[in-house]
Structure 1
């Protein structure tokens, strides 16, 4: 990866006019990133993993949380932002030596389009084609598959992950957009919209339980909520983050709390108090089967409302 690659990206996709700016540069760890600015918002996205590192709507504080101790290196996922878990979620179902949450978040994605929309938003698209992966990675997922990731950045943040089965047999895909939200003080934050839903409680041996009321965070929480399609909200003292989704039947809620966070090494001192992951995807009972020649779209939209 060198300056010529960045120059090529800017020549093909870079823009700067009265509508906004799309600019590529070398980021931390010598990993290319794209900076996006328009009248509605700004964003920073790493080309490795098509990983959103920042989204800040106009007049709002940063919505996406990234650890101060995050490590930026080729082939490694960044702690924070919006990692893409694909084509499986969590540990691989048959081989636990394969990387947790798949490989999409640690490989370079190709940019296919970037433009300013008449709405004032900016849209950028990335693609990952498994046929172009190295041999080691392809051994973990030999299926002929592609993932198109379309991001629309403005007052809201719209994310579309489209999985296409290019092979001759059905595939089973697990996925999630593993979003770390900047919540300020997680102990004063609640998640609304999951009352009555069944969930798998990882810290308690994946026991199946039922949610009662809103979710508050005062200890480790690591749960996969099943059959969830309704709108959710993350509410803190100053603002509410509203999550709408389609093509997703799982919601993962995660905060490691103090003891687990201290063992992780890259969450930063006290970082767990400022972040909360509420992930939209398809995991556990909700994994997706895609027939040959067909596709599946996971769509999530985030918007911010002041309290």
Structure 2
């Protein structure tokens, strides 16, 4: 994107002492947010939040140093958006994993200074020729991100066509941890889950979760907060959510990490994905003219 486009964005949407647009790796444009409570970054590519750092704290999100910053590629880390399907397409394996939202170029719709400690940006994506070739429905996606002491993200999905459609979706959040071997994840005790690593076997969670091997689970019929306890970084990451009845826990572990060219061999130790989703049996039907909103809120607590 040429510098003239960045100048145009800054003329229309920058906020003094809060938000400015810059050119990042691969000439991809991002919004840099700095206010009295926190800093953050959001790329227009994929509407992807790549950084959230409350002042005086460690980064909340993990971002791979080997991420690919180029059109058509997903950025590894931060909070990618899976839409209009989560994981592999349910019927056509050749279609892109996790849909097209995370690799599409989104538009800026609005920015706002809510207070000196809270900044908001709204990004949008509408159906176009390239999305119709993959998924032939008319839609409007709008992501509203509010950065302050807490991070809030709301994805509004609108059916702007004349046919009902079904979607699965996710905030595929990568949370930075001191060492994944030491963390525990609470909030899913007693929930049933699909263990994708073990032939999609359905199991029940007993106690809190510890990551000790490759983990890929869809927790079903759960709306509770999840809390990551991290004794190394001496903090809790609390994830609130709404309009989501499923949660995904993912970590590739050592062998799979070595097969991923955009992830370092040891990087799996430094993150865990706790994903706010509509996944598994949590399938969303949206009638013409109707909406569904997926929302998450992240707050940090000291241990």
| Equivalence for 1:268 | 264
Cα shift at 1:115: 1.3
Q: 2:213 matched to which residue of 1? A: 219
C-alpha distance in 2 between matches for 1:221 and 1:93: 21
Task: Report the TM-score, using the length of structure 2 for normalisation.
Answer: 0.98
The alignment partner of 2:115 has SS state of coil
Q: Which residue of 1 aligns with 2:9?
A: 9
The separation in 2 between residues aligned to 1:153 and 1:5, in whole angstroms, is 24
Displacement after TM superposition at 1:119 (Å)? 6.3
Aligned to 2:68: 71
- Of the three residues 110, 119, 124, the one matched with 2:121 is 124
* 1:149 counterpart = 2:143: yes
Q: For 1:134 and 1:145, how far apart are their aligned partners in 2?
A: 12
In structure 2, runs of 5+ residues without a counterpart are none
- Structure 2 residue 165 is matched with structure 1 residue 171: yes
1:215 aligns to what SS in structure 2? coil
Which whole-Å deviations, capped at 9, do the CAs of 1:113-132 have from their partners, x for residues lacking one? 011113630000001101xx
Counterpart position of 1:110: 107
Match of 1:185 in 2: 179
- Gapped runs of 5+ residues in structure 1? none
Other-structure match for 2:88: 91
Aligned residue in 2 for 1:134: 129
**Aligned residue in 2 for 1:204:** 198
1:285-300 mapped onto 2 (5 Å cutoff): 285-300=281-296
Residue 244 of structure 1: aligned partner: 240
Scaled by the length of structure 1, the TM-score of the pair is: 0.96
Deviation at 1:187, TM superposition (A): 0.4
How much has 1:11 moved relative to structure 2? Answer: 0.4
Note the alpha carbon deviations across 1:251-279, whole angstroms, 9 max, x for none. Answer: 00000110111111221131000010000
Name the CA distance, whole Å, in 2 between partners of 1:195 and 1:141.
36
Corresponding pairs, count: 301
Q: CA RMSD in A?
A: 0.9
Q: Give the Cα–Cα distance (whole angstroms) in 2 for the partners of residues 265 and 110 of structure 1.
A: 29
Cα pair 2:35 2:116 within 8 Å, conserved:
no
Report if the CA contact (8 A) 2:18-2:33 is conserved: yes
